[in-house]
Structures are given as structure tokens and as C-alpha cells.
Amino acid sequence: MSKRLCWLLAIELLGGCASNEPELYSRINEAYDFEVTHCDSFAMVTGIGRGEQGVKEAKISAKHQGEALLGTHIVWLHVDHIEESDQTRVVAVVYKCFI
């Protein structure tokens, strides 16, 4: 009986984990402007997302751009929900911190 209960519990736990979207590791850190005063700002990036997860998708897109530029930190400047559209746009500054 206890083996059957353990198997059912294990299946439920694995099923719960499989239903959640995985969060992937990011090599760029989100920061506030006062946290990067000692860093070099060198790029501005824009991300666009759609639908209910528009802000999240837009931020992921902007972070990928910052990572491609070898930035270490990103500071969000603006979130814009585009009228008459399901698009969301974010604007951010990418920094490179050497410390």
C-alpha cells in the first residue's frame, strides 16, 4: 500500500513540475539606476511582446539583446502598451560592470 502511495505522490509531483513553464538562467542582471552608477552604459535595447504575457516576453527579448552585447546589467526605462494592438514594448539601458 505504501509503495502505491509513494508512486502516486511521485507522479503528481512530476506532473506538477511539467506543467509549469521553466525559467531559464539569465546572464544579465536586472538593476535600478542607482545600482549601476559605477558601470558603463553602452546600449539601449527595445523588446516587443504580444498578448497576456506581453511584458514578460518583451523583457526576455530585451534581455537576450543585452546578453548578445555582453552586457552585465539592464535597467528598465519604459513599458508601453501599444494602442489598438496586443503588443507591449519595453525600453532599457544595458550596462557593463567590471566590479
Give the tens place of pLDDT for each residue, 44-83: 999 999 988 999 999 999 999 999 999 999 999 999 998 8
Question: Is 30 within 8 Å of 77 (Cβ atoms)?
Answer: no
CATH superfamily of 27-96: Hypothetical protein apc22750. Chain B (3.30.110.70)
Helix (H) / strand (E) containing 94: strand 87-96
C-alpha 84/C-alpha 95 separation (Å) is: 33
Q: Which three cell numbers stand for residue 32?
A: 535600478
Question: Is 60 within 8 Å of 47 (Cβ atoms)?
Answer: yes
Which pTM does this prediction carry? 0.72
